[in-house]
A and B are shown apart, each in its own frame.
Chain A
Amino acid sequence: MHLLLQSFLRLVSVLFGISVLVFLIVHAIPGDPAVIAAGLEASPETVARIRRDLGLDQPLPVQFVRFVTRAVTGDLGTSIRTGVPVVSEIRERLPHTVILTLGGIGLAILLGLMAGMAAAITRRRWVDRVVMALTLVAVSTPSYWLALMGMLVFALQLALVPSIGVGTPLHYLLPIVVLGLQSGGQVARISRAALMETLHKEYVRAAEARGVGRWRVIGRHALGNALLPVVTLIGLRIGGLLAGTVLVESVFAIPGVGRMMVDAVIARDFPMVQGGVLVVATLIVVVNVLTDLVGAGLDPRVRAA
């Protein structure tokens, strides 16, 4: 119970920090949203009126207080560019980003653990290195490049999957593979290290000495212990993944939140930027808290404490 309360307090304070940070950043960016919204052919009067309509003529602290008090009630304002409430703009796009992120994580865990296990089981340095190198190549390639190459090969030349868009589950396959490969490398690295370490532990050796098969040893003892750092890593990486979907979303034309926020920064659509960051940050913090709790459940040391 104490842990839950602590987590909740952490959530609130981090979110407050995020609100301050995003507000400051948004207002430090040069560029007047009213000017951009009005378009290049507009008159100064039009611009001035838009500025007044948006409340941008108010002092900054006033704007901040208004932003926070509204946000608490679930009102994130209205998009400058489209005139639609930010909440509904985000609601429409969030599922796509969540699917990509979850799919990416799922595939990453699968690939990562498989690669890590292959490396750990064979215990030959070269197998280990080759497997790690292969996953590393994916991690070491810029994601948009990997995405375009994947599209070129699998959508155009082999015609296995659709190139862009989100119509069917098949549409998500290539983007998820790209995201999964990218993060899978890191998961592989962590799970390999964790597996190696537990395999050296006394009780594993003892079990092996008792004649328990290597597969069972891994399944019974090593895998469970290796999961802890993997969960921690996912907690750390979730921010990168959620926000990192932006490049993949752009290439595959997926209407997600990452792309929305980047477009919003470029158009100086402040309410969209603030709202988007706040929602994404909330997700990130919630996942962080969850992974902490799961981690606490998995780790006997934390459980005992």
Chain B
Amino acid sequence: MKKLIVVVLVLLVVVACGGGGGSNTPTGPRDTLVFAASADATTLDPHNTTDTESDQVIMMLYETLIGFDRDMKIVPRLAERWDVAADGVTWTFHLRDGIRFHDGTPFDAEAVRRNFARVMDPVANHKRLVLFDMIDRVEAVDARTVRITTRYPFGAFEPTMAHVSAAIVNPAVAEKFGKDFGSAADRASGTGPYRIASWKKDQEIVLERHDDYWGEQGRTERIVYRPIPEAAARVLALEAGDVDVISRIPSADIARLEKEPGITVTKTPSVGMQQFRFNVTKKPYTDVRVRQAISYAIDRRAIVDNLVSSFARPSTGPLTPIMRGYANLGEIPHDPDKARALLKAAGYPDGFKTRIATTPRYPMGVELAEALAADLKKVGIEAAIDVIEWGTMVTYWAGLPPEKNPQEIFIMGAGASTADADWGLRPIFRSAPTNENNYGYYSNAEFDRVIEAAMRETDAEKRQQLYRRAQEIVYLEDPGAVWLFDTLYVVASRAAVEGVTPSPLGAVTFAHAVVR
């Protein structure tokens, strides 16, 4: 027994020394950067994905004709210039010369045509089909010119073309693998600054620099994506130096990491926002005064300052400031007296009972519902909370007719992936028979009219006026939701990391990142 103890002790000492001695400082930039994602990518097919974890890898492998810069301005990518004819429906893209896909095949107008044929093919049925609803046809005029004709003048055409799902994949590879394109390392090919080297499911995706890239070369040889599902473990791994960059950080840890000397925290204004929506077909939310009362009953400042201060700014409208078409309508004040008066006017002087549905999928989702319920209690409304698992939650949002949907107030995180007012307002508030996109059955005749007109308006000035009007209606006059806050996209990295690009779409890319 004694011998055993000695052996164990010796082993411990050896391990301890070995661990201590291993901390040699590397010189010069490292050849590998490790990013801890919260989940593995599901697919690397840009036409067939809707999740951020996949999108942020996709953004490294493929490119769009035109893209967003850090401030969501439209900039040239694979197309060096583009224009729209006076008819408002004919768009011409002039492609850059000398671009090659990862396997060496040249990129040309025909490749673009085949890509749109792929994503818009109703039989292949890719998930992003619906986004390109307005496109009538895509033609390759010559090797370097593409003409796209829309079915009607579409105000948000450019942001749609800059959307990640309009990315151009290598058509030969895509057609070879069909539905299986993007499901493994040897089934993904684009023009992006990095190419895929290997993909071990749930373990790591390794990208390596595409040396034939047309633009500025990547500064790091390999970018590794390592999925760590547990948030607390992600933070620990960053602090231990096992990964270089993390996102989706627990809010309490953000404030602490900001004070850590070896860590840099960046916060990017994003398209994301957190709201609780009303099912306006359920009594008493049929009454606009009740919805207004609830909006005034909520102390947004207290929530933002105490609960989510590290990643939120109070809402100032139904869109976030960085989105095209945003109008600053101001914060809605906390006014319980006004709320009580409105409730009284609506015939509920003693309040009523209601239910709030939420899901922990959203950061602080459950706590926000609890804070909401506490505020509502102060104006006499008794709210019970239903915490619903994500897989079940989405079934409530899957095109149910009102009579089949029991939800009353429910959490919703919105973030239009085109960063444009059209996608941020039209699908989710325009009158519709079911709640396939308009989860709360919101219906307002004037809103419908204005939003439809705005979509077809291509004059920037007039478009902005129409969107402002639409936002006034849904935010103040006939509220469709309680907007709580706009979210900041938070990324933390080791201090030695430079050039990480967080996107307002809530994704992070590493085209020019380096570890010093």
Contacts and interface: CB of A to CB of B under 8 A. Distances in A.
Interface stretch (B63-71, B138-146, B237-245, B276-284): B237-245
B179 A83 contact: yes
A146 to B, nearest CB: 13
B459 interface: no
A114 B50 CA distance: 53
A156 interface: yes
Interface in B429-465: 434, 436-437
Contact of A44 (B4, B201, B399): B399
Contacts of B202: 93, 255-256, 259-260
B333 to A, nearest CB: 32
Interface stretch (B318-326, B345-353, B389-397): B389-397
Nearest to A122: B1
Contact of A43 (B129, B236, B394, B417): B129
A251 B394 contact: no
Contact of A32 (B183, B200, B204, B395): B395
Interface in A25-45: 29-32, 35-44
Nearest to B18: A160
B215 interface: no
Given A41-B437, A160-B19, A252 B236 contact: no
B233 A31 contact: no
A30 B49 CA distance: 23
A250 B131 CA distance: 34
Given A158-B19, A266-B391, A151 B236 contact: yes
B42 interface: yes
Contact of B236 (A36, A50, A156, A263): A156
Given A163-B236, A164-B242, A31 B395 contact: yes
Interface string A85-129: 000010011000000000000000000001000100000000000
Contacts of B43: 82-83
A147 B226 CA distance: 19
B228 interface: yes
A174 B184 CA distance: 30
Contacts of B203: 165-166, 255
A90 to B, nearest CB: 10
Contacts of B4: 114
A83 B417 CA distance: 24
Nearest to A89: B201
B134 to A, nearest CB: 13
B201 A81 contact: no
A148 B253 CA distance: 15
Contacts of B228: 164, 253
B127 interface: yes
Nearest to B178: A83
A152 interface: yes
B398 A159 contact: no
Contacts of A260: 202
Nearest to B133: A43
A36 B42 CA distance: 13
B229 interface: yes
Interface residues of B, number: 56
B26 interface: no
B229 A250 contact: yes
The contact size tier of chain A is 35 or more
A83 B180 contact: yes
Given A53-B125, A152-B236, A160 B15 contact: yes
B226 A165 contact: yes
A37 B51 CA distance: 10
A159 B20 contact: yes
B227 interface: yes
Contacts of B200: 92, 255
Given A118-B1, A159-B240, A40 B397 contact: yes
A92 B233 contact: no
B16 interface: yes
Contact of A82 (B36, B183, B399, B434): B183
A46 interface: yes
B399 A163 contact: no
B19 A159 contact: yes
A203 B114 CA distance: 84
Contacts of A151: 233, 236
Interface in A249-295: 250-253, 255-256, 259-260, 263, 265-268
A62 to B, nearest CB: 22
B248 to A, nearest CB: 13
A152 B239 CA distance: 10
Interface in B340-391: 389-391
Interface of B: 1, 4, 15-16, 19-20, 23, 36, 39-40, 42-43, 49-51, 125, 127, 129-131, 179-180, 183-184, 200-204, 226-230, 232-233, 236-237, 239-240, 242-243, 389-392, 394-395, 397-399, 417, 427, 434, 436-437
22 contacts: A29-B391, A31-B391, A40-B397, A41-B131, A41-B417, A42-B50, A44-B436, A46-B127, A82-B183, A83-B183, A84-B180, A84-B184, A148-B230, A156-B236, A165-B204, A251-B233, A252-B233, A253-B226, A253-B237, A255-B203, A260-B202, A266-B390
